[in-house]
Amino acid sequence: MKISRDEVLHIAKLAEIEIPPGELERVTEDLCRICDYVDLLNEVSTPAEGQPFLAGPGRAALREDVIDPVALAHPVEELAPEFVAGFFLVPKLDGMEEG
């Protein structure tokens, strides 16, 4: 597949990539080779009922979701100066108004 320099510049603009003028010819050739390779892959015959190749095991081994409580060295009540009904009580900052 032939890709023109203008198309490469347009792609670079869309991708917000700056291609130095000295590199434009090499990038154009690289993109042409990549597209030619993809075209070659499209010509490979595969059985119609074939499954796509997936790397690794066919099925991922999943574990059951289990929530384990985190064991703390000290109960959280001991970490706060004031702890009431499961909440930390935080002193009001200066300048804060009721409302």
Instruction: Write down the H helix ranges in the chain.
Output: 5-14, 24-42
The pLDDT of residue 99 is 58
Please answer whether residues 1 and 39 qualify as being in contact, where contact means their C-beta atoms are separated by less than 8 angstroms.
yes
**What CA–CA distance (Å, rounded) separates 29 from 35?**
10
**What CA–CA distance (Å, rounded) separates 4 from 25?**
10
The tens place of each residue's pLDDT in the chain, 99 residues long, gives: 789 999 999 999 999 999 998 999 999 999 999 999 999 988 887 777 767 666 666 667 778 888 888 888 888 888 888 888 989 888 888 877 765
The pLDDT of residue 57 is 67
The pLDDT of residue 80 is 82
Please answer whether residues 29 and 1 qualify as being in contact, where contact means their C-beta atoms are separated by less than 8 angstroms.
no
Residues 6+ apart with CB under 8 A from 24: 5, 8, 9
